[in-house]
């Protein structure tokens, strides 16, 4: 089978999307391509940003390739599945440009995972994969009878048919990925890097572990990237060595929660590369923070979320430390790592005065703490389910309306008021049954 794997040309005008808008390596498509080729299939992988191509140009390249199957993702790479743009405008635009020239069509991503029926309707694809997608893409290439493939949802005479649970990749054995040289050359972006540099070499995203053993209320990972798994160290290091040989000077570990892993950190000390991570600061001991800095970490994004114990409890953080202890660890980290950020979420327990006090405290000690961002109740998060139960066919619309209505002020990282979902999807997405 010939399979086209497409990360479309993203745009975010009017979106609530608060993830990064730069280019990132589409790891999910990279794994799928490697698995497809290992199984004897052919694959063409395209990326709008990394190849500087708009959706019409991507569609034309897919059409020239004449694939049997075209796979498009509904989030800008695995890094952002937990905070994807709610609207399906961009993948819909790509599929409209493709206009049936890509064989059978499949959408992968958080939308089809949580709400398969509206995703199928809005995009008009033949199938969606529910959950992590790489092995299931291969399973679809292996058979023409998609009704028998676990993790796949389809519309049959307008009714939803799903088979099996949402999928979790075994992940631990994923072989080292190799990216086209020109993609890396088009990836100057050092994700979430704000130190003074020097910024040497291309940027790249890698994945040493997937999932997280916690269940924070706001975290959209119930349907994918949930259970914690650690990838074989030799594969991670082989991938990193290949990237360094191709001119990469900065790595971003997309791991939900970069847990202390001494062997990985010790291996990184010897390598000419610096890196960034997202983690929970309460899981690090002072000596390991020192090792993290020694290994080349230049950016830590730590999810503190709330500055009060009640707030952290409300968000189900399961954090055993109090705020002064957490602040002290962040300051300790900053002694070894040049950029440390404490992520904050707007919670009713945290008064303006508390927020101002701790932000000043941290910023004065070199730790960045953002103005608290509002919480978006993604359909794959416990927050959504606590508010409204299991996601139904209007889950994204409901979450979006709630988000727009519940907050009268928006974070300093959002510079325009987001638009309603129906408006964002009006032009591109097909009429819903
Ligand atoms: S610790 Fe981070 S990744 Fe884990 S559930 Fe909480 S927010 Fe999600």
pLDDT of residue 430: 62
Whether 337 shows a pLDDT value over 90: the answer reads yes
Among the residue ranges 269-278, 370-379, 385-394, the one predicted with the least confidence is 370-379
Which residue lies with its CA nearest to atom 8 of ligand 1?
219
pLDDT of residue 345: 87
Task: Report the pLDDT averaged over residues 403-424.
Answer: 72
Residue 280 beta carbon below 6 angstroms from any ligand 1 atom: yes
CA 229 and chain centroid, separation: 16
pLDDT of residue 433: 41
pLDDT, one tens digit per residue, over 195-218 is 999 999 999 999 999 999 999 999
Closest CA to 221 of 421, 378, 50: 378
Using the mean position of ligand 1's atoms as its centre, give its distance from the Cα of residue 209 in Å.
13
Where residue 432 falls among pLDDT bands split at 50, 70, 90? low
Cis peptide before 151, with omega less than 30 degrees from 0?
Answer: no
Whether 413 shows a pLDDT value over 80: the answer reads no
In terms of residues, how long is the chain?
433
Q: Which of 209, 212, 229 to mutate to test the pocket of ligand 1 (most atoms within 8 A of CB)?
A: 212
Residue 257 beta carbon below 6 angstroms from any ligand 1 atom: yes
pLDDT above 70 as % of the chain: 96
Using the mean position of ligand 1's atoms as its centre, give its distance from the Cα of residue 24 in Å.
21
pLDDT of residue 407: 64
Closest CA to 323 of 364, 286, 359: 359
Cα 242 to Cα 198, 261, 391, distances in angstroms: 22, 21, 41
Pairing of strands 159-163, 229-230: unpaired
Using the mean position of ligand 1's atoms as its centre, give its distance from the Cα of residue 215 in Å.
6
pLDDT of residue 375: 85
Using the mean position of ligand 1's atoms as its centre, give its distance from the Cα of residue 214 in Å.
6
Q: Report the chain's mean pLDDT, rounded to a whole number.
A: 94
> What DSSP character marks residue 373?
B
Among the residue ranges 47-51, 92-96, 320-324, the one predicted with the least confidence is 320-324
Using the mean position of ligand 1's atoms as its centre, give its distance from the Cα of residue 158 in Å.
36
Say what the pTM is.
0.95
The burial of 159, by beta-carbon neighbours within 10 Å (0-12 exposed, 13-18 middle, 19 or more buried), is given as: exposed
Whether 283 shows a pLDDT value over 50: the answer reads yes
pLDDT, one tens digit per residue, over 176-189 is 999 999 999 999 99
Q: Which of 79, 258, 303, 315 to mutate to test the pocket of ligand 1 (most atoms within 8 A of CB)?
A: 303
pLDDT of residue 412: 52
> Rounded to 10 degrees, what is the CA torsion of 222, 223, 224, 228?
40
Nearest atom, ligand 1, residue 256 CA: 3
Residue 256 beta carbon below 6 angstroms from any ligand 1 atom: yes
Residue 42 beta carbon below 6 angstroms from any ligand 1 atom: no
pLDDT, one tens digit per residue, over 60-81 is 999 999 999 999 999 999 999 9
Q: What is the CA radius of gyration of the chain?
A: 21
Residue 391 beta carbon below 6 angstroms from any ligand 1 atom: no
Residue 303 beta carbon below 6 angstroms from any ligand 1 atom: yes
pLDDT of residue 409: 55
What region, left, alpha or beta, does residue 42 occupy, with left being phi > 0 and alpha being psi -120 to 50 degrees? beta
Where residue 346 falls among pLDDT bands split at 50, 70, 90? confident
Using the mean position of ligand 1's atoms as its centre, give its distance from the Cα of residue 3 in Å.
33
Residue 220 beta carbon below 6 angstroms from any ligand 1 atom: no
Which residue lies with its CA nearest to atom 1 of ligand 1?
214
SS3 state of residue 106: strand
Among the residue ranges 6-10, 100-104, 406-410, the one predicted with the least confidence is 406-410
The burial of 350, by beta-carbon neighbours within 10 Å (0-12 exposed, 13-18 middle, 19 or more buried), is given as: buried
| 373 φ, ψ (degrees, to nearest 5) | -95, 150
pLDDT, one tens digit per residue, over 30-54 is 999 999 999 999 999 999 999 999 9
Residue 377 beta carbon below 6 angstroms from any ligand 1 atom: no
Task: Report the pLDDT averaged over residues 349-360.
Answer: 93
Task: Report the pLDDT averaged over residues 293-307.
Answer: 95
Residue 212 beta carbon below 6 angstroms from any ligand 1 atom: yes
Which residue lies with its CA nearest to atom 6 of ligand 1?
216
Q: Which of 211, 221, 306, 315 to mutate to test the pocket of ligand 1 (most atoms within 8 A of CB)?
A: 221
Residue 291 beta carbon below 6 angstroms from any ligand 1 atom: no
pLDDT, one tens digit per residue, over 264-275 is 999 999 999 999
116 vs 390: CA distance, rounded Å: 13
Residue 345 or residue 242, greater confidence: 242
């Amino acid at each position: 089978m010939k399979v086209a794997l497409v990360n479309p040309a993203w745009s975010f005008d009017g979106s609530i999307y608060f993830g990064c808008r730069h280019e990132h390596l589409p790891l999910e498509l990279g794994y799928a391509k490697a698995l497809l080729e290992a199984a004897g299939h052919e694959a063409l992988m395209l990326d709008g940003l990394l190849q500087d191509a708009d959706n019409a140009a991507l569609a034309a390249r897919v059409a020239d390739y004449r694939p049997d199957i075209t796979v498009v993702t509904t989030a800008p790479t695995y890094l952002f599945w937990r905070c994807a743009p709610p609207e399906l405008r961009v993948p819909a635009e790509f599929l409209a440009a493709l206009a049936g020239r890509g064989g059978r069509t499949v959408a992968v991503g958080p939308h089809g995972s949580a709400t398969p029926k509206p995703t199928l309707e809005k995009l008009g694809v033949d199938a969606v994969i529910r959950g992590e997608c790489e092995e299931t893409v291969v399973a679809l290439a292996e058979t023409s009878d998609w009704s028998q493939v676990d993790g796949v949802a389809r519309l049959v005479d307008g009714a939803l048919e799903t088979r099996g649970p949402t999928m979790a990749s075994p992940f631990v054995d994923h072989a080292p990925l190799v990216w086209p040289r020109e993609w890396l050359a088009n990836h100057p972006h050092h994700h979430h890097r704000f130190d003074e540099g020097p910024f040497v070499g291309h940027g790249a995203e890698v994945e040493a572990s997937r999932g997280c053993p916690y269940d924070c209320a706001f975290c959209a990972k119930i349907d994918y990237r949930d259970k914690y798994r650690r990838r074989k160290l030799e594969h991670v290091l082989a991938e990193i060595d290949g990237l360094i040989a191709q001119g990469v000077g900065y790595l971003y570990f997309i791991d939900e929660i970069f847990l202390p892993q001494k062997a990985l950190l010790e291996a990184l000390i010897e390598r000419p590369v610096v890196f960034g991570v997202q983690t929970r600061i309460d899981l690090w001991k002072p000596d390991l923070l020192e090792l993290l800095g020694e290994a080349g970490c230049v950016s830590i994004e730590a999810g503190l979320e709330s500055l009060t114990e009640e707030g952290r409890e409300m968000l189900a953080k399961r954090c055993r430390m109090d705020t002064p202890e957490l602040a002290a660890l962040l300051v300790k980290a900053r002694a070894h790592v040049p950029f440390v950020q404490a992520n904050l979420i707007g919670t009713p327990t945290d008064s303006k005065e508390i927020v101002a006090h701790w932000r000043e405290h941290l910023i004065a000690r070199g730790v960045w703490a953002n103005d608290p961002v509002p919480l978006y109740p993604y359909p794959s998060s416990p927050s959504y389910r606590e508010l409204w139960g299991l996601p139904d066919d209007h889950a994204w619309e409901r979450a979006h309306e709630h988000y727009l209505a519940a907050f009268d002020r928006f974070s300093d990282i959002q510079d325009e008021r987001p638009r309603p979902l129906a408006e964002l999807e009006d032009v591109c997405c097909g009429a819903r049954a």
